[in-house]
Chains A and B, each alone.
Chain A
Amino acid sequence: MTPFLGIFKKELKVAFTTPVAYVVFFLFALISSAIFWSQLRDYERLVQRSKHIEDAEFLAQLNFNDVILSELFINVQIIFIFLLPILTMRVFAEERKQKTMELLMTTPITTGTVVFGKYAAMLAVLVCLIALLFVYPIILTMFGESSINASVVDWNTCLLGMLGVFLCAVTFSAVGFAFSSFTDSQIVAALITFFMLLLLWFLGGASASVHGVVGDVLGFLSPLNHIQNFAKGVLHIGDVVYYLSMATLFLVVAYRAVEGQKWA
């Protein structure tokens, strides 16, 4: 086994031996299903209302993707702000607290192997987490009826939404990695990550009230504005660039912090 694979496997083993991942999975399923249910109710209400006022045009435009799935994907980002810090908090903080960092520092491996081995394992966990979301379009396909399309769910739009959700998780977990590398307290790591994500998210709201270039920059920095296109099924290269560059930035910070501990 190469050191990279060794770290990858060990991280996955630890992630699924401790209860933390299961709690996060459970909460994610619970909250996302609550959102799904409430959007389903909205959809029903919209159908009733447009039938009542005999707005046939509006009724024809109603579909599961716009009303239910894309709203769900946008809201998942908010769930991630709360849940992902819990998944990433232990990644370096625990190694420092339990003094197992000493093992990683005194065996012939590079800091890059440590950081990317751990990150690859984190992404594997996130793929499992996001895969839970497939339940919802499948439910819609099984039980839904559509007046316009042959398929009630537009899978292309849906898959693009999932990609957006995944990229969002890629970025948020990189933020978590950075803050977990600064401290040996998991709680502190989780809290700071949470506030950082919350701050980024608020930038989206703040940008609306700020005019000019500053507003545009603030808006660009917020993940809120980048999930929208994905959720609607539009692939915008700028959004992909945003998520990947934010992830890279925070991973570099984590790398520097871990490397710094080696020579501190």
Chain B
Amino acid sequence: MEAAEASAGDAKTSSPGASGGETLIEVENLTKFYRDFHAVKGASFKLGRGEVVGFLGPNGAGKSTTMRMLVGALPATSGRARVCGFDVHEDDIEVKRRIGYLPEIPPVYFDLTVMDQLKFGASLKGLKGAEARASIEKSIDRCQLQEHVYRLVGQLSKGFRQRVGLAQALLGKPEVLILDEPTVGLDPKQIQYVRALIQELATEHTVLLSTHILQEVTMVAQRVIMIRRGEIVIDDTLADLHKKHDGKSIEEIFLAKVEE
């Protein structure tokens, strides 16, 4: 509706978040109804460049729904979302060029090898020739898939499939990474590895990561957005949260909010 305003210039407005700088993700009053069920009730938040934000909430709170609306996989009932200044509804192709998205279930084909899967992912992002090869190589290195390149995705364990999905999301060096529960189903060692990887990624990407594991947020994110029954109830940096709740741990704050 407001396509005319959805120009790249808008990205220069400042962020309320921790790091300041330009705003990459801007969500305004985003609402989603599934028939009668009000899944997301007017969510609004902003993410600045280089931020790593943990998106917290109990199961079924609307985390995935919000993220899917943000990447253009699901239309919002009302409200709007912008990524890098482009409206998700009006300029979805431009938005999709700039995001790497890892859904809850990694979108990988069981009948392809890891290499073929990543080649396919690279082609969908429009990467060609040497650029595609370099990007695939880097992704494989980062997600430590070197030894599994020629195995079929279907033969890999869930943890490895998750890593293939993550490697795929990283292709083409997207400005924004949106990761939906990236550590679910991984073993403790892999979880540790993925968390370290996300911290590393934060130097190049803006990351919005959802989780229901509380420690994860304190480990990788500087800022927390908490959603409960479709409503955003907390949007603050970790440091400020501690101050406001006189030194309580994130678990305590979170549980108090859930039970409210």
A107 and B96 contact, CB distance less than 8 A: yes
Contact A2 B123 (CB under 8 A): yes
A218 CB to closest chain B CB (Å) equals 40
Digitize A1-22: 1 where CB-to-B-CB distance is under 8 Å, 0 elsewhere.
Answer: 1110111011001100110000
Q: Which of B103, B105, B124, B152 contacts A107 (CB 8 A)?
A: B124
> B110 at the A/B interface (Cβ < 8 Å)?
yes
Beta-carbon contact of B132 and A1 below 8 Å? yes
Interface segment among A35-43, A97-105, A149-157: the answer is A97-105
Interface residues of A (CB under 8 A from B): 1-3, 5-7, 9-10, 13-14, 17-18, 98-110, 262-264
Bound Cα distance A2, B112 (Å): 19
Nearest CB to that of B99 among chain A residues?
A106
Q: Tell yes or no: B253 within 8 A of A by CB.
A: no
B93 CB, nearest partner CB in chain A, Å: 5
* Contact (A106, B101) CB under 8 Å given A2-B123, A6-B119, A10-B116: yes
CB contacts (< 8 Å) of B168 on chain A: these are 103
| Residues in B lying within 8 Å of A, measured CB to CB | 71-73, 75, 93-94, 96-97, 99, 101, 103, 105, 107-112, 116, 119-128, 132, 152, 168
With A1-B119, A99-B105, A100-B107 known as contacts, the answer to whether A106 contacts B71 (CB < 8 A) is yes
Query: Which of the listed residues B93, B99, B123, B127 has the most CB atoms from chain A within 10 Å of its own CB?
Result: B123
Contact A3 B126 (CB under 8 A): yes
Q: How far is the CA of A102 from the CA of B125 in the complex (A)?
A: 14
18 A–B contact pairs at CB < 8 A?
Answer: A2-B126, A3-B124, A7-B124, A10-B109, A13-B111, A98-B105, A102-B101, A102-B103, A102-B107, A103-B108, A103-B168, A105-B72, A105-B73, A106-B72, A107-B96, A108-B124, A108-B126, A262-B72
Complex partner residue of A103 from B94, B116, B121, CB under 8 angstroms = B121
A97 to chain B, nearest CB (A): 11
Give the shortest distance, in Å, between A117 (CB) and chain B (any CB): 10
Our pick among B105, B111, B119 for the contact of A14 (Cβ within 8 Å) is B111
Nearest neighbor of A113 in chain B, beta-carbon distance: B124
Q: Which residues of B contact A14 (CB under 8 A)?
A: 109, 111-112
A106 and B109 in contact, given A3-B124, A6-B119 (Cβ under 8 angstroms): no
- Point out the residues of chain B lying under 8 angstroms from A102, CB to CB: 73, 101, 103, 105, 107
Residue on A nearest B70 in the bound complex, by CB: A106
Assess A263 versus B124: contact at CB under 8 Å? Given A13-B116, A99-B105, A99-B107. Answer: no
* Cα(A5)–Cα(B97), bound, Å: 18
Q: Do residues A104 and B112 form an inter-chain contact, with CB atoms below 8 A?
A: no
Please report the C-alpha to C-alpha distance between residue A104 and residue B125 in the assembled complex, in whole angstroms: 10
Q: Within 8 Å CB of A7, what residues of B?
A: 120, 123-124
Rounded to whole Å, the gap between the CB of B55 and the closest CB of chain A is: 17
* Residues in chain A near residue B127, CB distance under 8 A: 1
Q: How far is the CB of A264 from chain B (nearest CB, A)?
A: 8
Given A1-B123, A5-B123, A107-B96, A17 and B111 touching (CB < 8 A)? yes
Residues of A within 8 A of B73 (CB): 102, 105-106, 262
Q: State whether B128 touches A103 (Cβ < 8 A).
A: no
Please name all residues of chain A whose beta carbon is closer than 8 Å to the beta carbon of B116 when the two chains form the complex: 10, 13
Q: How far is the CA of A105 from the CA of B127 in the complex (A)?
A: 17
Minimum CB distance partner of A114 in chain B: B124
What residues on A are CB-neighbors of B111 within 8 Å?
A: 13-14, 17-18
B residues less than 8 Å from A6 (CB atoms): 119-120, 122-124
Nearest first, the 3 closest Cβ-Cβ pairs linking A and B are: A6-B123, A103-B107, A107-B124
Residues from chain B with a CB closer than 8 A to the CB of A9 are 120, 123
CA–CA, A31 to B201, complex, Å?
57
A262 / chain B contacts, CB cutoff of 8 Å = 72-73, 75
With A and B bound together, what is the CA distance between A103 and B128 in angstroms? Answer: 18
Residue of A nearest to B93 (CB): A108
| Contacts A6-B119, A99-B103, A99-B105; A107 near B125 (Cβ below 8 A) | yes
- Residue in contact with A1 in the complex, picked from B71, B97, B103, B122, CB distance below 8 Å: B122
CA distance A110 to B124 in the complex (A): 10
Which of B96, B105, B123 is close to A106, meaning CB atoms less than 8 Å apart?
B96
